Amino acid sequence: MKTTYMIKRFLPYFKKYRSILVFDLLCASLTTVCEIVFPLIVRYITDMGMNNLEGLTVGIILKLTALYVVLRIIDTAANYYMAGTGHIMGTKMETDMRADLFEHLQTLSYSYYSNTKVGQIMSRITSDLFDITEFAHHCPEEFFITFLKIAVSFCILLTVNIPLTLIVFAVIPIMIFFALRYRLQMRTAFKQSRVQVGELNAQVEDSLLGIRVVKSFTGEKSETEKFRKGNEKFLAIKKIAYKCMAGFQSTNRFFNGVMYITVVFAGSLFMINRKISPADLMAYLLYVSTLLASIKTILDFTEQFQRGITGIERFIEIMDVQPEITDAPGAEVLPAVRGDIVFENVSFIYSDGDKEVLENIDLSISAGQSIALVGPSGGGKTTLCNLLPRFYDVTSGRILIDGNDIRSVTLKSLRSQIGIVQQDVYLFSGTIRENIAYGRIGATDDEIRRAARDAGAEEFILKLPDGYDTYVGERGVKLSGGQKQRISIARVFLKDPPILILDEATSALDNESERIVQASLERLAKGRTVLTIAHRLTTIKNADVILVLTENGIQEKGTHNDLIEKHGIYYHLYNI
């Protein structure tokens, strides 16, 4: 991305804080006045001391001293505002960007998270945006101060000696040109280091979340070795970045010396030829010192600038990812549904696949009917169910709920009427009460307890030390598999959707837990349209219709008894 494009994308975040920015730049100009005036005071005193010592009275010295003290007080107050409120402005902008990024991440489709490491996303939403805080505050401030100092100094020095001023300022573009040769290399290196930090985050997250597997397979040494390689790669990238920075700073120091010796050499020649006074030469040296300090600041800021630009670039990269599943223009709210579902000639292929997972599926499900999907792995059972709430969109054909094409209604209204209970239960880090309440935000305590009772969960909840306020741990690690599953069922009870998807909800449980959870699911299924994916066929014997789904589509259809009598695929699976 071009730097100008990224700055253009970043500028709108200043809009809310433009009054703070304007006052910050005003304070920056006030701090500049103090540095600009000091060489003039020194020049005046030196000139008076050399040419009119009698005229240099104590009163004049006191007035000049008082002027400088007043300027310093103003400088201190202005600097305090810049360092305090200016940084707070940058932090607020960082907060706004983080909020926008997180909100955007919530809109992205399943496919994005299937192909992106969470550690990389975490790196972008934390450390990358932190550098933007410094960038947002210092970038306009430092460039503005440097521009003022160079412009005002140039105008003042032109009134003293035009040739010497032109010689001095001719060195500045050369200095900046050579220094900025390292800019692109620094930016590339900083971006690579950001990527590698994300990789390290992802690796640490993967290893720590799977720590039980690591320990059970005594894989500590292997994990440590993988991390060592990633860590050393990060070190190698940082070495490149710091070598670029070293070249950058060395170039800057060299031209500092060139600037000073240019002023001393050329100024001395002008002074010999009486084209400049010693007082003027003194003023030149002070102004050059001020200029070099400003240029050094702005060039040193290049490192921070590149970090900030890299952060902005990585921010924009995510913000430019468009969700694959969105509301269609003019999408309407899906009214309360009965639960009639129709798949019309539905086909589906994953965006990164080359073979259709589903092909020409025709299926009609009546409201309140219980449908079971069975068949070998890879037959498309989960995919078929994922198409219903539009986690993915059909490649061709259409899906209707109560006669409404699901692509013509809003995602929120569609998904609010579909409940899902999965094999891999995810509980948020928090209390049992908070996890159940996720089924319907704003539910009362009585409603939460009723949902827990319906799910058969209240009995074990009340035996816990803190009851409903028991902390479940990260991903619900403090609860057993059966307990977590009952909490997830209570969540769906609270949501009370007319359509229910059960994705192998009991396949990971022991027999006793399966019996309890199965009873909860049967209570949950009453009066709802239910699609059940099952590998344990004993759990779906009472389904109204059983569909046998393979790579060739729906191969068999009927009740349990009908399919057993056919001695086909279902009969074979059941006997196994």
Does residue 72 or residue 54 have the better pLDDT? 72
What is the Cα–Cα distance from 255 to 26, expressed in whole angstroms?
30
CA quadruple 61, 64, 68, 73: dihedral sign: positive
d(CA 484, CA 506): 11
* C-alpha–C-alpha distance, residues 49 and 215, integer Å: 82
Q: What tens digit of pLDDT does each residue of 58-90 get?
A: 888 888 889 888 988 988 998 898 888 888 888
pLDDT band at 288 (very low <50, low <70, confident <90, very high): confident
Model confidence band, residue 258 (pLDDT cutoffs 50, 70, 90): confident
- Burial class of residue 96 (count of CB atoms within 10 Å of its CB; 0-12, 13-18, 19+): middle
- Residue 50 is predicted with a pLDDT of 75
Question: Predicted confidence band at 404 (pLDDT cuts at 50, 70, 90)?
Answer: very high
Yes or no: say if 421 and 501 are a contact pair by the CB < 8 Å rule: yes
pLDDT above 70: residue 149: yes
- Among 430, 434, 445, smallest CA distance to 491 is for 434
Give the list of residues 6+ apart from residue 261 with CB closer than 8 angstroms, or none: none
Neighbours of 35 (CB within 10 A): 22
Asked which of 57-61, 141-145, 302-306 is least confident by mean pLDDT, the reply is 302-306
Q: How far apart are CA 16 and CA 6, in angstroms?
A: 19
Of the given ranges (110-119, 146-155, 377-386, 395-404), which has the lowest mean pLDDT? Answer: 110-119
Calpha distance 424→427 (Å, rounded): 10
For 106, left (φ over 0), alpha (ψ -120 to 50), or beta?
Answer: alpha
Residue 344 · residue 352 · CB < 8 Å:
no
146 phi and psi, to 5 degrees? -65, -40
Contacts for 510 with CB less than 8 Å, ≥ 6 apart: 481, 482
List Cβ neighbours of 70 (8 Å cut-off, separation of 6 or more). none
How far apart are the two ends of the chain, measured CA to CA in Å?
Answer: 58
**Where residue 398 falls among pLDDT bands split at 50, 70, 90?**
very high
Other beta carbons less than 10 A from residue 370's beta carbon: 21
Query: In this structure, what token pair is assigned to residue 380?
Result: 């498309």
Looking at residue 345, what is its pLDDT?
A: 92
Report percent pLDDT > 70 for the chain.
Answer: 96
471 bridge partner residues: 431
pLDDT band at 213 (very low <50, low <70, confident <90, very high): low
| CATH code of domain 3-319 | 1.20.1560.10
Tokens of 464: 């816990």
Give this prediction's pTM: 0.72
Which position has the token pair 């433009």? 18
Write the single-letter amino acid at 379: G
**In this structure, how many other beta carbons lie within 10 angstroms of the beta carbon of residue 213?**
10
Q: Identify the pLDDT of residue 508.
A: 59
What's the rounded mean pLDDT across residues 293-297?
74
- pLDDT of 400 above 90: yes
Q: Write down the domain spans for the chain.
A: 3-319, 341-575
The predicted-structure confidence for 4-23, as pLDDT tens digits, reads as follows 898 899 989 999 998 998 99
296 Cβ contact list (under 8 Å, min separation 6): 252, 256
519 pLDDT more than 70: yes
Determine how many CB atoms are found less than 10 A away from the CB of residue 179: 23
Residue 199, both tokens: 């990789």
Residue 166, number of CB atoms within 10 A of its CB: 12
Nearest to 199 by CA among 222, 232, 221: 232
Q: Regarding the domain delimited by 341-575, which CATH topology (the fold level of the hierarchy) does it fall under?
A: Rossmann fold (3.40.50)
Q: 157-198, pLDDT tens digit by residue?
A: 788 788 888 887 888 788 777 776 766 677 677 778 777 877
What pLDDT is attached to residue 410? 92
SS3 per residue for 418-484: EEEEECCCCCCCCEHHHHHHCCCCCCCHHHHHHHHHHCCCHHHHHHCCCHHHCECCHHHCCCCHHHH
What is the arithmetic mean of pLDDT over 368-395? 88
Residue 398 DSSP SS3: strand
Residue 276 pLDDT: 83
Please choose, from the candidates 322, 312, 240, the residue with its C-alpha nearest in 3D space to the C-alpha of residue 2: 312
SS3 275: coil
Task: Kindly indicate the confidence band of residue 397, based on its pLDDT and cuts at 50, 70 and 90.
Answer: very high
How large is the average pLDDT for residues 308-313? 84
Share of the chain above pLDDT 90, in %: 10
CA of 29: how far to CAs of 142, 174, 392, in Å? 11, 26, 55
Tell whether the model's pLDDT for residue 302 goes beyond 80.
no
The mean pLDDT of the chain is 83
Q: What's the alpha-carbon Rg for the chain, to the nearest Å?
A: 35
Whole-number pLDDT of residue 217: 64
When mean pLDDT is compared across 260-269, 371-380, 484-493, 514-523, the lowest value belongs to: 514-523
Which amino acid would we find at residue 243? K
Q: What is the pLDDT of residue 332?
A: 92
The pLDDT value recorded for residue 474 is 76
User: H or E segment at 76?
Assistant: helix 58-81
Can you give the pLDDT at residue 509? 64
pLDDT band at 354 (very low <50, low <70, confident <90, very high): low
Other C-beta atoms within 10 Å of 148: how many?
Answer: 19
